């Protein structure tokens, strides 16, 4: 199958029937995956204007996120303002990108703050994403988890980041995982569903690959590494395994599923590594916000600093970048 | 380019590493480099110079001295003069020097990397992240061995002055692989870098001078092949270590034959890359990238033959083509380049020719859609499918970024295809089933096997070939033996060979006609022997009449007839080798315990016939029966010793700095030909043959021509001792004539020869056909043989890398 091109409009993944054969055929060699992942940051690099352009692309793929117990409407409104204007105007002008309507990929919050975010982002075209289904552990009663999705969608969330039941993976009950995710997908309706695997709690890369396949069969629009609350979150080896699963699913079905690494991606350099990974393993079509997101809160600030460094030639301070 | 445009296309841009420090270094030398001898720089005696170019641009980098005979002589003399002092230095002090070299290499790492890339054309990512760090690692590792030499190898001493000739594909890394162990073990070195790529060796020479290595310990003589030949031919060199083509290795083998020079050769390959249907195919594709598009495929152990299980071949090929489309070729100094330049136009031409021939032969060629740079020597990554093992592409070492793919159905067919080559350097096996992977690793005839990985190298693991890929190991403890020899005091002095008072002359066999020149009357002589025992040959577990139909009499020193033995000829050797070959796989798979049981049983059955063998020995040698009895007793002990070792000659698990189990496995050499000495006819035969059998080899033995009856008497002992047929074959006859047939035989893996100097030279020269291992012995005290030398000669080390991870 030929790789999709940028002009293609991606048709939403409707999911497929559960296919245990595909799931069990998955093979992942951890050492080989780690070797490949280790070369991603050193086989590829971008410098000068390429670096600036790639960083701008990275920021358009950020799900600007706040998931703290002390979030208030005030902090969320501030974050939304930052989402609309992620880089200082004079920096964009110096990059000759002043005309571009650059904004982040989405703003990601808990359900309670969805209304505030929706209101703050009105007219911007920036979707609101809500973490859901008993985030981060996902152990609330099943009916409550479905109800939570529906409530967030009703409140205006266009994207729902659900968490899977890790127990289904750890017990090898792939049918149960499929049924659960399919139910979530139905509850999402028109909202796009990002499926958080919580890879740090799945034990093996093979489990990560198998869970990825099951979630895509069940209709995930995105597969996402982590909640950001596990002790190990997005890593390049885990991401490599997931994007290869996405490629396999595309080869098998023709549907493009998005990818979202989340947790621990804080530096501009890291964001470039992930972009290289996506470009090399999935191709250029996946380097757009409809198929790729970073789940991050502090990444944007570092990207701003690096862009300022590109413009001015001297190293920049975080204090000069407006807070989100 | 505009940022807005890049923002849309998300293309890669240039990311060049600066060449300035390296160019400054060249400029500081006026781009002209002399020879490095005695820690000083001197002009070549014949004022010859040659040009070094950057293969990525075709531009000249420097002029380098062409070493002549006088220069090689001066370098060898310097190494000789330095040798006594260097070997006498305590290991700890040599360790300090090697440690200093490692540190200096790390301090100059980037300069070395950039210079290597300029000179060789390989991507800076490789020189920076692989070559140079490994160079430093080799010096660190061997600094440790220098420190430990006295306690780890108390019976050994340095070989002496080593001539080292290295290739252009990993210029500094190959220097390190050779120089570090040589110096660590107290040898001195004359190094001849490759003609195309001498620059990093010259920078290394500066480092050597800077750390104050004693003058003459390391000398660098640049030049082309003629300089290398001068080094090989120089009489004062004790050992040649060569890495390069099998073709040149063969010439070196012939040149050094009979000179007593030690030799280690790391030669060509056509290594298989085997993918089973239960492999992680995406990872296997990355493995292929590292196997054949690493260093533009100019790697002796490149995985250049892709063997794929039929059911997954289409999927793997399609994944591979997609991956190839994303490879980036171009300026080797660009940090984001995967494939750099081919080392020289002549190499590019060779690759082109072979590829065109492959297309003409009907193989299906696939190359990515993008174009190569037009300036400099570049060749695109290339995949050939529909390749038959019979095609030239599948057999010849292309030494370029060209992969040929074939399919197989079963594990045993995979092994069959993998071994269907004259080479045996390395192999890569991909499967998630460890049972399958280790089984295949065991079956492949190659010095290094990588499970679910490829091209992993480390100083702690030995690297080197089976078959025509050469012999000797570099790295690991096994790599040190090539730079060590047993102290004379330990090896002992030999027993003078027994000379035969009677010229052997053929007599008519039972179904033959007496030759015209034969004046003997067999019938009259038979009367002096009570009951004739018709000593035939022993082939495939049966006593076989000699093909020639001739026998010859064997006399005691007083001229009395003792018996007759068959005169074996080349056809008998052919039959014996065939028998040994058929028995080889089964015997090698047999457990050490079972092999030990058989050797003990042999001893048991020999022991009950001690008196008979003692008398036979006494008769043949004209010695007392007590002497004969002593020899039988010693032979019994040698059988016990070999049986004891059968299940104890353990390999090792190397400490490679990765999450792998790296197994150094002792494997049998295969089919061994052994030509026995005249001294101690029973004992010497047992001392040589028993360990060979214990290690799992099958053997064709040529007994002493002067005292062969002890060997023919053994037939009955063998027949009653459960030795599987074909494991040991005995062909009596002319030692040198039969030895030559064995040495020339392409299905014989090794030849040992314990005979006169002239015969040794002949054997070594004749062995160059399939580059079989040879071991020539003289001066052995058969009563206290050098057991560990024999065991090493009877085995070869296979390193199996098994990365793991849940």
Identify which of B10, B279, B806 has the shortest CB distance to residue A287. Answer: B10
- Structural domain includes residue A13: no
CB burial class (10 A; 0-12, 13-18, 19+) of residue B254? middle
B396: left (phi over 0), alpha (psi -120 to 50) or beta: beta
Fold classification of B271-459 (topology level): Aldehyde Dehydrogenase; Chain A, domain 2 (3.40.309)
Identify which of B2, B4, B125 has the shortest CB distance to residue A43. Answer: B125
Beta pairing class for B550-555 and B303-309: unpaired
> Which of B9, B282, B428 should one mutate to test binding to chain A, selecting the residue with the greatest count of A CBs within 10 A?
B282
B321 chain-A contacts, CB cut-off 8 A = none
Predicted confidence at residue A1, as pLDDT, reads: 62
In Å, how far is B282's CA from the nearest CA of chain A? 8
Per-residue CA distances from B556 to B303, B730, B735 (Å): 58, 21, 19
Element (H, E) at B673: strand B671-675
Predicted confidence at residue B614, as pLDDT, reads: 96
Contact A32 B326 (CB under 8 A): no
CB atoms under 10 Å from CB of A221, counted, come to 25
The β-bridge partners of B375 are none
Contact B3 A36 (CB under 8 A): no
Q: Output the pTM of the full model.
A: 0.94
A284 chain-B contacts, CB cut-off 8 A = 9-10
Q: What do you get for the CA distance between the two ends of chain B, in Å?
A: 46
Residue A8 confidence class, pLDDT cut points 50, 70, 90:
confident
Nearest CA in chain B to A38: B129
Beta pairing class for B402-408 and B382-385: parallel
Mean pLDDT of A160-175: 98
Q: Number of structural domains, chain A?
A: 1
In Å, how far is A209's CA from the nearest CA of chain B? 11
A43 chain-B contacts, CB cut-off 8 A = 125, 336, 338
What residues of chain A have any CB closer than 8 angstroms to a CB in chain B? 3, 6, 27-36, 42-50, 52-54, 56-57, 95-97, 100, 203-204, 244, 247, 275, 279-280, 284, 287
- Structural domain includes residue A5: no
Contact A45 B336 (CB under 8 A): yes
Nearest CA in chain B to A58: B7
Q: What do you get for the CA distance between the two ends of chain A, in Å?
A: 42
Kindly report the backbone phi and psi dihedral angles of residue B738, in degrees, each rounded to the nearest multiple of 5, phi listed first. -70, -35
Predicted confidence at residue A7, as pLDDT, reads: 78
Measured CA to CA, the distance from residue B101 to residue B113 in angstroms comes to 16
- Structural domain includes residue A323: no
B281 chain-A contacts, CB cut-off 8 A = 27
The β-bridge partners of B652 are B664
In Å, how far is B296's CA from the nearest CA of chain A? 15
- Structural domain includes residue A4: no
Identify which of B13, B278, B281 has the shortest CB distance to residue A46. Answer: B13
CB atoms under 10 Å from CB of A313, counted, come to 7
Measured CA to CA, the distance from residue B244 to residue A36 in angstroms comes to 30
Contact B384, B405 (CB under 8 A): yes
Contact B487, B156 (CB under 8 A): yes
Angle (deg, nearest 10), helices B610-621 and B625-646: 120
Contact B453 A35 (CB under 8 A): yes
In Å, how far is B134's CA from the nearest CA of chain A? 17
Closest C-alpha to B202, from B52, B10, B374:
B52
In Å, how far is B12's CA from the nearest CA of chain A? 6
Residues of A forming the active site: 161, 224, 260
- At B470 the three-state DSSP class reads strand
Predicted confidence at residue A6, as pLDDT, reads: 77
| DSSP-assigned letters across all residues of A114-169 | HHHHHHHTTTS-PPEEEE-SSTTTT-S-HHHHHHHHHHHHHTT-SEEEEE--HHHH
Identify which of A42, A49, A244 has the shortest CB distance to residue B6. Answer: A49
A31 chain-B contacts, CB cut-off 8 A = 452-453, 659-660, 803-805
What residues of chain B have any CB closer than 8 angstroms to a CB in chain A? 1-15, 125, 129, 278-284, 286-287, 322, 326, 335-336, 338, 432, 452-453, 659-660, 803-806
A289 chain-B contacts, CB cut-off 8 A = none
Contact B411, B311 (CB under 8 A): no
Identify which of B3, B12, B805 has the shortest CB distance to residue A30. Answer: B805
In Å, how far is A46's CA from the nearest CA of chain B? 6
Residues of chain B with CATH 3.40.309.10: 271-459
Contact A27 B322 (CB under 8 A): no
Contact B4 A28 (CB under 8 A): no
Closest C-alpha to A47, from B6, B124, B114, B332:
B6
Residues of chain B with CATH 3.40.605.10: 20-36+46-51+58-267+481-488, 517-803
What CATH number does residue A104 fall under?
3.20.20.70
Contact B4 A100 (CB under 8 A): yes
Domain span at residue A210 reads 20-318
Closest C-alpha to B264, from B516, B117, B469:
B469
- Structural domain includes residue A41: yes
Measured CA to CA, the distance from residue B22 to residue B103 in angstroms comes to 19
CATH of domain B20-36+46-51+58-267+481-488: 3.40.605.10
Report residues of chain B scoring pLDDT below 70.
489-533
Contact A34 B282 (CB under 8 A): no
Contact B339, B377 (CB under 8 A): no
- Structural domain includes residue A308: yes
Identify which of A34, A44, A49 has the shortest CB distance to residue B336. Answer: A44
Q: How many Cβ pairs closer than 8 A exist between chain A and B?
A: 100
> What is the side-by-side order of every strand in the sheet holding B188-192?
B40-42, B35-37, B218-220, B188-192, B161-165, B239-243, B262-266, B470-471
Between residues A195 and B503, the one the model is more confident about: A195
In Å, how far is B393's CA from the nearest CA of chain A? 28
Contact A53 B6 (CB under 8 A): yes
- Structural domain includes residue A3: no
Predicted confidence at residue A5, as pLDDT, reads: 80
Residues 6+ apart with CB under 8 A from B450: B426, B427, B428, B429, B456, B801
- At B558 the three-state DSSP class reads coil
Identify which of A33, A47, A57 has the shortest CB distance to residue B7. Answer: A57
Contact A53 B15 (CB under 8 A): no
> Which of B4, B5, B10 should one mutate to test binding to chain A, selecting the residue with the greatest count of A CBs within 10 A?
B10
Predicted confidence at residue B489, as pLDDT, reads: 62
Nearest CA in chain A to B318: A1
Nearest CA in chain A to B451: A32
Our CA dihedral for A63, A64, A67, A72, rounded to 10 degrees, sits at -140
Measured CA to CA, the distance from residue B138 to residue B179 in angstroms comes to 9
The answer regarding whether domain B517-803 maps to CATH 3.40.605.10 reads yes
In Å, how far is A290's CA from the nearest CA of chain B? 14
Predicted confidence at residue B324, as pLDDT, reads: 98
Contact A211, A198 (CB under 8 A): no
- Structural domain includes residue A14: no
């Amino acid at each position: 199958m030929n790789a999709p091109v940028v002009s293609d409009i991606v048709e939403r993944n409707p999911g497929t029937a559960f296919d245990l054969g595909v799931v069990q055929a998955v093979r992942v060699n951890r050492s080989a995956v780690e070797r490949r992942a280790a070369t991603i940051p050193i086989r590829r690099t971008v410098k000068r204007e390429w670096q600036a352009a790639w960083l701008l692309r990275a920021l358009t793929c950020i799900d600007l996120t706040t998931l703290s117990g002390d979030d208030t409407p005030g902090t969320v409104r501030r974050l939304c303002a930052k989402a609309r204007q992620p880089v200082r105007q004079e920096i964009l002008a110096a990059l000759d990108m002043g005309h571009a309507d650059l904004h982040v990929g989405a703003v990601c919050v808990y359900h309670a703050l969805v209304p505030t975010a929706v209101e703050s982002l009105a007219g911007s075209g920036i979707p609101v994403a809500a973490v859901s289904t008993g985030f981060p552990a996902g152990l609330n009663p099943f009916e409550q988890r479905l109800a939570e999705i529906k409530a967030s969608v009703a409140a205006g969330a266009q994207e729902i980041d659900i968490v899977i039941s890790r127990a289904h993976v750890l017990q090898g009950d792939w049918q149960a995982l499929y049924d659960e995710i399919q139910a979530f997908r139905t509850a999402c309706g028109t909202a796009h569903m990002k499926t958080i695997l919580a890879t740090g709690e799945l034990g093996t890369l093979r489990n990560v690959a198998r869970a990825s396949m099951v979630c895509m069969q069940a209709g995930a629009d995105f597969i996402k590494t982590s909640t950001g609350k596990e002790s190990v979150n997005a890593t390049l080896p885990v991401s490599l395994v997931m994007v290869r699963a996405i490629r396999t699913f595309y080869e098998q079905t023709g549907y493009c599923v998005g990818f979202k690494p989340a947790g621990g991606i804080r530096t501009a350099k890291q964001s470039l590594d992930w972009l290289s990974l996506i470009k090399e393993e999935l191709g250029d079509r996946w380097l757009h916000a409809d198929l790729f997101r970073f789940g991050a809160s502090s990444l944007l600030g570092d990207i701003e600093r690096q862009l300022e460094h590109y413009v001015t030639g001297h190293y920049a301070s975080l204090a000069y970048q407006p807070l989100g | 380019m505009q940022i807005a445009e890049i923002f849309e296309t998300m293309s890669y841009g240039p990311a060049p590493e600066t060449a300035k420090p390296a160019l400054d270094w060249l400029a500081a030398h006026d781009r002209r480099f002399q020879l490095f001898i005695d820690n000083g720089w001197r002009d070549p005696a014949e004022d010859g110079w040659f040009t070094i170019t950057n293969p990525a641009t075709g531009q000249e980098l420097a002029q380098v001295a062409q070493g002549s005979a006088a220069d090689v002589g001066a370098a060898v003399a310097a190494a000789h003069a330095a040798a006594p002092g260097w070997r006498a230095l305590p290991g700890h002090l040599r360790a300090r020097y090697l440690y200093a070299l490692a540190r200096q290499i790390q301090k100059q790492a980037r300069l070395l990397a950039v210079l290597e890339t300029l000179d060789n054309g390989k991507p800076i990512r490789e020189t920076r992240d692989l070559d140079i760090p490994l160079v430093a690692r080799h010096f660190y590792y061997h600094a440790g061995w220098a420190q430990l030499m006295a306690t780890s190898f108390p019976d050994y001493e340095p070989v002496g002055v080593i001539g080292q000739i290295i290739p252009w594909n990993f210029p500094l890394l190959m220097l390190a692989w050779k120089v570090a162990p040589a110096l660590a073990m107290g040898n001195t070195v004359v190094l001849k870098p490759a003609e195309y790529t001498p620059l990093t060796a010259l920078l290394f020479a500066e480092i050597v001078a800077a750390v104050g290595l004693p003058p003459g310990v390391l000398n660098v003589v640049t030049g082309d092949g003629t300089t290398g030949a001068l080094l090989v031919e120089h009489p004062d060199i004790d050992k040649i270590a060569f890495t390069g083509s099998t073709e040149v290795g063969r010439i070196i083998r012939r040149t050094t034959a009979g000179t007593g020079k030690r030799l280690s050769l790391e030669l060509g390959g056509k290594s298989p890359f085997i993918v089973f249907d239960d492999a992680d195919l995406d990872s296997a594709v990355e493995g292929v990238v590292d196997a054949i598009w690493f260093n533009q495929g100019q790697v002796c152990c490149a995985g250049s033959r892709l063997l794929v299980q039929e059911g997954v071949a289409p999927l793997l090929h399609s994944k591979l083509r997609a991956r190839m489309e994303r490879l980036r070729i171009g300026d080797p100094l660009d940090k984001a380049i995967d494939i750099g330049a081919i080392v020289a136009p002549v190499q590019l031409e060779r690759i082109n020719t072979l590829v065109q021939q492959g297309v003409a032969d009907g193989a299906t060629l696939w190359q990515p859609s993008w174009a190569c740079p037009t300036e400099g020597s570049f060749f695109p990554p290339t995949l050939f499918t529909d390749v038959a093992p019979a095609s030239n592409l599948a057999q010849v070492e292309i030494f370029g970024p060209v992969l040929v793919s074939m399919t197989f159905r079963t594990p045993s067919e995979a092994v069959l295809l993998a071994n269907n080559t004259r080479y045996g350097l390395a192999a890569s096996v991909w499967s998630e089933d460890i049972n399958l992977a280790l089984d295949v690793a065991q079956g492949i005839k190659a010095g290094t096997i990588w499970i679910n990985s490829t091209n992993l190298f480390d100083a702690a693991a030995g690297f080197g070939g089976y078959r025509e890929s050469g012999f000797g190991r570099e790295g690991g403890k096994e790599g040190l033996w090539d730079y060590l020899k047993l102290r004379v005091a330990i090896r002992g002095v030999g027993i003078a060979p027994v000379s035969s008072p009677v010229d052997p002359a053929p007599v008519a066999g039972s179904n033959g006609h007496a030759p015209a020149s034969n004046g003997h009357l067999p019938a009259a002589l038979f009367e002096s022997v009570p009951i004739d025992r018709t000593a035939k040959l022993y082939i495939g577990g049966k006593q076989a009449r000699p093909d020639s139909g001739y026998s010859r009499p064997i006399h005691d020193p007083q001229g009395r007839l003792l018996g007759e033995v068959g005169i074996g000829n080349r056809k008998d050797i052919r039959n014996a080798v065939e028998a040994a070959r058929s028995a080889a796989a089964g015997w090698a798979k047999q457990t050490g315990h079972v092999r030990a049981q058989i050797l003990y049983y042999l001893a048991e059955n020999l022991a009950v016939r001690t008196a008979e063998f003692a008398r036979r020995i006494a008769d043949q040698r004209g010695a007392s029966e007590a002497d004969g009895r002593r020899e039988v007793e010693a032979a019994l002990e040698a059988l016990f010793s070999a049986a004891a070792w059968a299940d104890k000659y353990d390999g090792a698990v190397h400490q490679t700095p990765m999450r792998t189990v790296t197994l150094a496995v002792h494997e049998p050499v295969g089919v061994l030909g052994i030509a026995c000495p005249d001294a101690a006819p029973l004992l010497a035969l047992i001392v040589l043959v028993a360990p060979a059998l214990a290690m799992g080899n099958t053997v064709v033995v040529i007994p002493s021509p002067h005292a062969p009856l002890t060997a023919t008497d053994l037939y009955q002992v063998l027949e009653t001792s459960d030795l599987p047929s074909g494991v040991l074959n005995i062909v009596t006859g002319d030692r040198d004539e039969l030895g030559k047939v064995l040495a020339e035989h392409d299905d014989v893996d090794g030849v040992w020869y314990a005979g006169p100097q002239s015969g040794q030279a002949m054997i070594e020269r004749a062995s160059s056909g399939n580059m079989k291992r040879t071991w020539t012995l003289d001066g052995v005290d058969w009563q206290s043989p050098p057991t560990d030398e024999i065991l090493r000669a009877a085995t070869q080390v296979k390193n199996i890398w098994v990365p793991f991870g849940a």
